[in-house]
Amino acid sequence: MKRVSLLVAKVPIFGPVAASMLVHPLFSGSLVMMLGSNFANFLAFVYHIILGNLLGPVKFSEVASILSFLGIISVTYTSLGMAIVKFVSSSHLKQNRIFYSWIAKRILIFAAVLSILVLLVSSFISNFLRIEYLPVVISGFIVFFSVLGFLNRSFLQGFIKFNAMIFTLNIEMITRLIVGSILVYIGFSVAGATFGVLVSVVIGWLVTFPFLPKLRIFGVRSNYQDGRKLVSYGVPVLLQAIATTSLMSLDVILVKHYFGAHDAGLYAAASNLGKIIYFGTGPIGAVMFPIIAKRHSKGAEYKKVLVYSLFLTAILSLCILVFYYLFPEFAIMVLYGKEFLEATPLIFIFGSFFFVFALTGILANFFFSIGKTWIVRLQLAAALLQIGGILMFHNSLFNVVKISIACISFLFIGLLIYLKRELKSN
């Protein structure tokens, strides 16, 4: 990479800036995470494409609703991920063995309780989303193993074992793709797709253990001393995760509730295309967070990392957005087929929403990395505005997306104002 940067530095005007970015840890770390996680995202979208073609808009909308529901449930545990990574990366192995035993015991109980709650309300969820009962029941078991797998991957990330983390994630996605597609193809429909997800999360959890050979749940003294610090940091992160997931996924569920199955399927397909922008640039924020957090704690300069992150995110997002503007029908045809061509007018506007959403995510991660967790109030306000707006003004799919754009723009502008104040104060 250094040789490449030396060659790039010779390019007039932009060469020196580009060269400094190439050797920056943000770039190298983002490259590893981006390639691995985007391959997983690619598998996820192939999964959606195959299921969309096999099931059609009506049944596909049911699968999309289940996955959105699971995504919303996941905020109850993924919010701890940022805190776990921070604590693991700043501790030595002996402390982390104690920490793992301490938190794993509590996570087991939490996973069981959360799964039971999902099973108890499965009938209500089935009626509200107007989907079959069995897939919702299966989702309860998916939640249990998803929690366990997430814990182990958080430790892998904290240990800077990015290759192992990405490997286990891709094993899970490959399993979901193969098992789910086969079950749907042979006639198990939505239940088959959901069961494929269950099989994948179980296997994804199991394959993490070879990379964590020195960690055990039982047989380890687990009197961890920093539990309160973990919880106090995790609460605002939980609220942030709730707001982020709501802004990104709750509209799909509300559309499924208020609109017909066909329209809901079109909306879900357009939303998934838009999410390519967010998930495609997501690794940049994931790498930026620990770099800025470490530099901030040492009193080192960190503003350049933020600038690079925003720049990379904006460039990548714009490339995808321009493609959607020029070739929306091609994007739909390649990924979902002609049955979803009616969603073409929604592609660019959804892309615009996720373009702003991606930049907002970078700013939010920046504030959390320097301990400014109070910005979660803005995120919650934007999420509530989106819900209220959709509940009151859902006369068309276009209106729903426009409401989402207005809310994310409000959040982005608010974060920019606070960023200006933060940079001035420092």
Residuewise pLDDT in 10s, the chain (426 residues)? 445 444 434 444 444 544 454 555 566 556 667 788 778 878 887 898 898 888 888 888 888 888 888 888 887 777 778 778 777 766 666 777 878 888 888 899 999 999 999 999 999 988 888 888 899 999 999 999 999 999 999 888 777 787 888 899 999 999 999 999 999 999 898 999 999 999 999 999 999 999 986 777 665 666 666 667 777 777 888 888 889 888 988 888 888 888 888 888 888 888 989 988 988 888 888 778 777 877 776 777 788 889 888 998 999 999 999 999 999 899 888 878 788 888 888 999 999 999 999 999 999 989 988 878 889 999 999 999 999 999 998 888 889 999 999 999 999 999 999 998 887 776
* Cβ atoms 45, 272 nearer than 8 A: yes
Structural domain for 126, as ranges:
22-425
Length of the chain: 426
Assigned domain for 17 exists: no
Count the alpha carbons within 13 Å of 51 in the hemisphere toward its beta carbon. 35
| pLDDT tens track for 201-230 | 999 999 999 998 677 766 566 666 666 777
Q: How many domains does the chain have?
A: 1
Is residue 6 domain-resident?
A: no
Residue 373, in any domain of the structure: yes
- Asked whether residue 184 is domain-assigned, the answer is yes
Question: For residue 384, is it left (φ>0), alpha (ψ between -120 and 50) or beta?
Answer: alpha
- Is residue 11 situated within a structural domain? no
Per-residue pLDDT reduced to its tens digit, 122-167: 999 888 888 888 999 999 999 999 999 999 998 887 777 878 888 9
344 found inside a domain:
yes
The answer as to whether 1 is a domain residue is no
Distance (Å, rounded) from C-alpha 130 to C-alpha 112?
26
Position 2 in a domain: no
Calpha distance 213→210 (Å, rounded): 6
